[in-house]
Structure 1
Amino acid sequence: MGIKMVKDECQMLLEALNKVSACYRHLVICVGGTSDSQNLREELKKIRRKARVLAVANKTRLITILRDKTITKDDRAEFERLWVLFSVCMEILEFDMRRALELGHEFPLNDPTKHRIQTGMIGSTSVVAARGMNIPNMKYEERSNIDTVDLNDLEQEINEVAEMTYEMEMKVNVLQWTVEAKQGPGSELKSTANAGASLAVRSVSGRGNDQLCHCDASKVVAGVMFGAVVIIAIVLAVCVVKLS
């Protein structure tokens, strides 16, 4: 497999992991709220396990290529940037999993004495889960021990994510503050379609520059007007003090 193919595959895996992690974060907010349910807990389990599969695949490829001494300096720099993005995504995923664990302990489904938070969100969360998982809406059989089983599984999976992060740091020594970003935020996660859209935007850069100049001129005028108002206010305050 060529370097370019490996790079494209790592970028696609990272994009998928970022999408699934964002979906997981969105659903974690619902735990303990009025839209919390067994369906939500099951969807969270499926999404975090999907995220783990993507993370393991990306980790394996990045570790293999970054430990290869034959790749060029430019290729190594590109893979190190992907490694940093991957590490940050894993940290965010672990944080959200720990938050889901805390909320799960605080708001067990089978405890009627625990009042749900009135978040204003109601109804099923399956649509959001399907966006991250590409799975149809599902119904689950009621289980009396869902709180205990799910929270135990979640705690074990948090430990697995933490161990994965530790293994990454031990096998590949990439210092995040030494990696230079050559692209704008999120550029590595854009799809080919978005990249094409960016080229289309750049093709009309002349018109964009005109709009930018107009915007800058508007800011200058606003700044001058604000300064004049401040000066008038100071003069009036001085007059009032002298008259008093």
Structure 2
Amino acid sequence: MQRQPGPREPEDAATAESRAALDALCRFAAGYRHLAMGVGSSADGPRLRLALEEGGRRGLELSQGLHDQLLAELTQLGVKAETRAELERIWVLFVSTLDIFLQDLGRAHRLSQLFPVPAAAAGTQLVSTGVSSQGLKGWSLRLASTKAAQGAGELGQWVQQLAKLQLEMEKEVNVPPWGVEPSMGDLVSEAASLFHHYREEARARCQANPYCRSKG
């Protein structure tokens, strides 16, 4: 009589937390790419620049948190082989996701320098579409423009700090992508598929928002 396989063992708590943190970073990075696509378009403006600046800071926080968590687990002694293999896979996916986010952050920074927010004159926009608006109640265009101008400089700081984190990761843990067994397909395709899924999810959410609908 053939023996039936037993129930699958529950996932290690540390692995589950790391996977959830990676999932949150992928979801955030996909949404940030959608925002970065609006720089220099008719959807651009002080609010978008401020969102990009705040997004850079948030992305750094998520990346640093996942980095510290994975590093602590991977350098811990006595970790099960199965758990370590899964943590290494998450580490490689994290490296790929961080690289994608860093590219989008750098692109947003360069475009923000090429297309600076104009002076805070009422009704001034980067692209004139012929559509006028009274704006959001309680929103100050002058205040938003000032914050956006400051944010353009801060984007460069987030780029530098994330690039520094990326270099540190290469030295701290020696986990080459070709040495990690993927759960399905190859790791590059897996990371791209995960990122694409959340990007489409962010696009669907944005379609319901009149402010970002014009980004396409």
Provide TM-score, normalisation by structure 1: 0.62
Q: Is the 8 A contact 1:66 1:76 kept in 2?
A: yes
Measured after TM superposition, the shift of residue 49 of structure 1 is 1.8
Measured after TM superposition, the shift of residue 117 of structure 1 is 9.4
Q: Is the 8 A contact 1:33 1:117 kept in 2?
A: no
2:83 corresponds to which of 60, 63, 75: 75
Q: Against the structure 1 CA distance between its residues 140 and 46, is the aligned structure 2 distance closer, same or farther, given a 3 Å change threshold?
A: farther
- Aligned partner of 2:212 in structure 1 is none
SS at 1:35 equivalent: coil
Aligned residues: 172
- Aligned partner of 2:24 in structure 1 is 16
- Aligned partner of 2:177 in structure 1 is 176
- Aligned partner of 1:142 in structure 2 is 142
- Aligned partner of 1:153 in structure 2 is 154
Measured after TM superposition, the shift of residue 48 of structure 1 is 2.3
Q: Is the 8 A contact 2:74 2:87 kept in 1?
A: yes
- Aligned partner of 1:216 in structure 2 is none
Q: Higher helix proportion, which one? A: 1
Specify the structure having the higher radius of gyration (Cα).
Answer: 1
Q: For the residues of structure 2 that align with 1:80 and 1:116, how far apart are their CA atoms?
A: 46
Amino acid aligned to 1:182 = S
Q: For the residues of structure 1 that align with 2:44 and 2:151, how far apart are their CA atoms?
A: 14
Q: For the residues of structure 1 that align with 2:64 and 2:153, how far apart are their CA atoms?
A: 21
Q: For the residues of structure 2 that align with 1:50 and 1:147, how far apart are their CA atoms?
A: 16
Q: For the residues of structure 1 that align with 2:48 and 2:148, how far apart are their CA atoms?
A: 12
Q: Against the structure 1 CA distance between its residues 71 and 100, is the aligned structure 2 distance closer, same or farther, given a 3 Å change threshold?
A: same
SS at 2:26 equivalent: helix
Measured after TM superposition, the shift of residue 84 of structure 1 is 0.5
Q: Is the 8 A contact 2:36 2:108 kept in 1?
A: yes
SS at 1:142 equivalent: helix
Instruction: Give unpaired runs (5+ residues) of structure 2.
Output: 1-9, 196-216
Q: For the residues of structure 2 that align with 1:93 and 1:116, how far apart are their CA atoms?
A: 26
- Aligned ranges 1:88-237 → 2 under 5 Å: 88-110=96-118, 116=127, 139=139, 141-143=141-143, 145-146=146-147, 148-183=149-184, 185=190
Q: Percent identity?
A: 30
Amino acid aligned to 1:61 = Q
Q: For the residues of structure 2 that align with 1:103 and 1:147, how far apart are their CA atoms?
A: 13
Q: For the residues of structure 2 that align with 1:158 and 1:75, how far apart are their CA atoms?
A: 32
- Aligned ranges 1:25-64 → 2 under 5 Å: 25-64=33-72
Measured after TM superposition, the shift of residue 34 of structure 1 is 0.3
- Aligned partner of 2:3 in structure 1 is none
Instruction: Give unpaired runs (5+ residues) of structure 1.
Output: 124-137, 191-244
- Aligned partner of 1:201 in structure 2 is none
Which stretch shows the higher mean deviation, 93-102 or 44-53?
A: 44-53
SS at 2:142 equivalent: coil
Q: Against the structure 1 CA distance between its residues 153 and 56, is the aligned structure 2 distance closer, same or farther, given a 3 Å change threshold?
A: same
Q: Deviations over 1:145-190 (max 9, x none)?
A: 445421210101100001111111111111112111123536x969
Matched, 1:65 2:73: yes
Amino acid aligned to 1:78 = E
**Greater relative contact order (Cα 8 A, min sep 6): structure 1 or 2?**
2
Provide TM-score, normalisation by structure 2: 0.70
